[in-house]
Structure 1
Amino acid sequence: MKTESNLDVKAFLADLKGLLKIESTNNEAGMVTSEAPLGTGINDAIDYLLDLGKNFGFKTKNLDGYCGYIEMGEGDEMVAMLNHVDTVAVGGGWTVPPFDLTLQDDKIYGRGAIDNKGPAMVSLYAMKALAETGIPLNKRVRLIIGGDEEGDAWRCMKRYKDTEELPGASFSPDSRFPAIFAEKGMLRICLKKALDSGTNEMTFFSGNQINTVPDYAKAIVDGVTYKSYGKSAHASEPDNGVNAIFRLAQKLKAREIKHPFLELLEVVSLDGFNIRISDEISGALTLNPSIARVDAEEAVLECDIRYPVSVEIKDIEEQIAAAVKPYGFSFEILEELGPLHVDRESALVKSLQKVYREYSGDSSGPMTSGGATYARAFDNAVAFGGRFPGEANMCHQTDEYWSLESMKKNFDIILKALEVLAK
């Protein structure tokens, strides 16, 4: 793999530090205003990148605080990179300041370092480098910056598509290499039960973000407080984390505490829901119980499910509803997001694969993912970057980081990909 890079590391890190210092947590980004419908922090992060783009000589536009774009070049056609500046919540246990840039042992720490502020800054610097080469291009290049990727509604992309030009081809460096030609479908559900006065009183709290494995859970029973700790991970890869909800449930069960919510958790699994499903294209279905809330009146569990691209979502929903009904829990759909499946032999996938293969020497074919990227929002779009094979997935985790070496390599690959696609 090539190791030399033309990235101006000093300037890049200074600009990235400024972006990481902006607290743009999804649903917790400060005051909501007419100019900042997603919170002032998210609008500030969008404007921060737009101001940098303007200083680099590019055209910019803020779309009502939901999203923005930076554009270079001329031509009737346009290719795009798709990034976001909102982040998941910080959580506990950080050993470095989460809203700052800390460089230690080649690792850049900070919430959003890899998901997705770091790749957004890499994308902008790749545009700058491409413009400075003077290579003639036939298409415009646009960096689309969203502010609601970590939320349920993707209001940012809906706002963009209401009024703006759609790219002819695009990629999102919000996943990994090689190119991701298929992303599993996403289903988010809520299981709920009203509790009567005869129920043993218990409070139970865990999780703040539905797309994250919860790393902390707390319960109070008969005046006694119980706590459990786990390990956070992205909900699309629950086996990489340790779910604190189940840890605490086991602790309460060992003390012979009984409650309808604890009975429900006994069946919250792939086998308990009868949804142990996979296909040859995208692999196995994953289930992540993410948010638990129990008080004297109600018990609620929200779960994140990523399902194979060839599976009918209706079958999954029916199986879960049937599994929880005997326990008195209702089944509600919070969000459905269909799978992405682009022909692995398409010109886009083959072009990106060629760029990656020539740079890295890795001849692996295009991959599938359980993640959900902005590629789903557009036709002829795939995820491409930023983790390399073998690199840890630090998205949504405590002490989130991205290695400086990986950033440099992403810069080189994205720069070449833009040159190829824009020609």
Structure 2
Amino acid sequence: MTIHFDKQAVLEALRGLLQIKSVNANAGATTSEAPLGTGINAAINYVLELGKSFGLTTKNCDGYCGYVEFGEGPEMVAAITHVDTVEVGDDWTVLPFDLTIDGDKIYGRGVLDDKGPTIVSLFALKALKEAKVPINKRIRLIIGGDEEGGNWACMKRYKETEEIPTYAFSPDSGFPVIFAEKGIMNVILKKELDNGTPVLNLSSGKQINSVPDYAKATYNGQTYEARGKSAHASEPQKGDNALIKLADELRAAGIKHPILELLKRATPAGFGINLSDAVSGDLTLNPAIAFVDENIAVLRCDIRYPVTIKSSELCKTILKAIEELGFSLEMDHETLPLHVDQESFLVTSLQKVYADYTGDTSGPIVSGGGTYARAFDNAVAFGGVFPGETNTCHQTDESWSIDSMAKNFDIIVKALEVLAQ
């Protein structure tokens, strides 16, 4: 039986998933059945119901995550995806919670990160099952619901009671194989303000792993606003940080405030952490969320650090750089780096699948992004954006090409087949 990409069926299935509002930390009421929000649980169940209709085994793991599976054997391999999304943000030209098709482009929040790859992976399982491809391991699609929030309560819940894959990959990043992912740390810089501090009200940012595209402040009855461009925190240089722009504008207006001095230093060089290593490249910093009133000034930053560097040393260095400004530092969240041997069976097998399909013989790469690959041993990121394609994750008018989607399908099918043999 020939395996082919059923474009219309995939797009219609994706449309239904996009229409479910599953924004991380803003997905409706939380209940015992939907601890991450009713929208996220509905999105998980949507994928599970589709899987059930394909004759696959399914399980909802207490509303945190779920899985779809087929096959036999004592071992299991998996693709790991997620159905929660970041906030929509401003200035969309299409409906964010729907599927818009314009030629080869499809638009919608989560179409690339990561609802599109979730549906593609589900159809890959369906195709492998129907084609009766000879395998000796079970194949599972694990669907998480708390990837964008950073705490990964979904993967913690999964690992409490569910089977750990022998090999796994997460199609939530790019190609070729991503054998290393930088460490991720979210820090909170905070200062209690005294009575002599000028009264400034400022707010910016909704999601720590996105470059803020809007910031607003009021000072002496005057309102200041700045607009920028959102981008994924792993590549902040591709965005235009509205918070930094607003701080520059306020300083230019002669306004003095501790948060403005802090934001002036909020760069890798300014914090004294302009570091890199030979394995994973440069450290990146995203000043993401700020809040200031008459009592307190708070800045939350997303930092992606090279795999050979210790986060504890980064914290000490940042504190030293901001000490005179009187800000404290709290580590709000950390995800340790991922580094899988480039010569391992997993990396070499997936790299061969990619090279055979594309003809691209370049080696495996490093990413600043954080995927579910970090949640398991013998897991890497593999899939999503091809070299040269625009990565629209976390951006306004998030999009994916149908051509890229079809190629991802072909590669995911082959990758699962190879790992399951």
Shorter-chain TM-score tier: over 0.9
- 8 Å Cα contact 1:233/1:396 also seen in 2: yes
1:316 has 2:314 as partner: yes
C-alpha separation in 2, matches of 1:148 and 1:344: 28
How do 1:19-418 residues align onto structure 2 when only pairs under 5 Å count? 19-418=17-416
Coordinate RMSD, CA, aligned = 0.9
For these two proteins, the number of residue pairs brought into alignment is: 420
Structure 2 Cα separation of the partners of residues 260 and 341 of structure 1: 38
Corresponding letter in the other structure for 1:298: I
Task: Give, in whole Å, the separation in 1 of the partners of 2:381 and 2:265.
Answer: 34
In structure 2, the residue matched to 1:9 is 7
1:176-223 per-position Cα deviation (integer Å, ceiling 9, x unaligned): 000000000011100000111221111111000000000100000011
- 1:53 maps to amino acid: G
User: Partners of 2:129 and 2:179 in 1: how far apart?
Assistant: 28
Measure how far apart 1:5 and its partner are: 7.9
Q: Which amino acid aligns with 1:269?
A: T
SS in 2 for 1:203: strand
Q: Could you report, residue by residue, the CA deviation over 1:65-86 in whole angstroms, capped at 9, with x for unpaired residues?
A: 0000000100110000000000
Alpha-carbon distance between aligned partners in 1 of 2:216 and 2:133, rounded to the nearest angstrom = 58
TM-score, normalised to structure 2's length? 0.99
Partners of 2:234 and 2:410 lie apart in 1 by: 28
**Identity of aligned pairs, percent?**
63
Q: In the alignment, is the contact (CA less than 8 A) between 2:120 and 2:405 conserved in 1?
A: yes
- Measure, in 2, the Cα distance between the counterparts of 1:228 and 1:152: 27
Which residue identity does 2:301 align to in structure 1? C
| TM-score for the superposition, normalised by structure 1 | 0.98
DSSP-derived class of the 1:97 partner: coil
Q: Distance in 1 between matches of 2:382 and 2:147?
A: 16
1:155-195 per-position Cα deviation (integer Å, ceiling 9, x unaligned): 00000000001000000000000000000001110000011
Say whether the 8 Å CA contact 2:205–2:290 is kept in structure 1: yes
- Specify the alignment match of 1:420 in structure 2: 418
Opposite residue 169 of structure 1, the aligned amino acid is Y
Partner Cα separation in structure 2 for residue 265 and residue 412 of structure 1: 46
Kept after mapping to 1: 8 A contact 2:3/2:128: no
* More displaced 10-residue stretch of structure 1: 139-148 or 307-316: 307-316
* Structure 2 Cα separation of the partners of residues 310 and 171 of structure 1: 23
Rounded to whole Å, the distance in 2 between the matches of 1:387 and 1:63 is 29
Residue by residue, what CA displacement relative to the aligned partner does 1:43-66 show, whole Å, maximum 9, x if unpaired?
000000000000000000000000
SS in structure 2 at match of 1:242? coil
Inter-partner Cα distance in structure 2 for 1:394 and 1:361: 25
Contact 2:286 2:301 in 1 (8 A): yes
> How far is 1:105 from its partner?
2.6
Taking structure 1 as reference, are residues 247 and 5 closer, same or farther at Cα in structure 2, changes over 3 Å only? farther
1:5, 1:408 within 8 Å by CA — same for their partners in 2?
no
How far has the Cα of 1:92 moved from its partner? 0.4
SS in 1 for 2:412: helix
**Conservation of the 8 A alpha-carbon contact between 1:5 and 1:409:** no
The list of structure 1 runs, each at least 4 consecutive aligned residues, that deviate by more than 6 angstroms after superposition, is: none
Read off the aligned partner of 2:60 and give its amino acid letter.
N
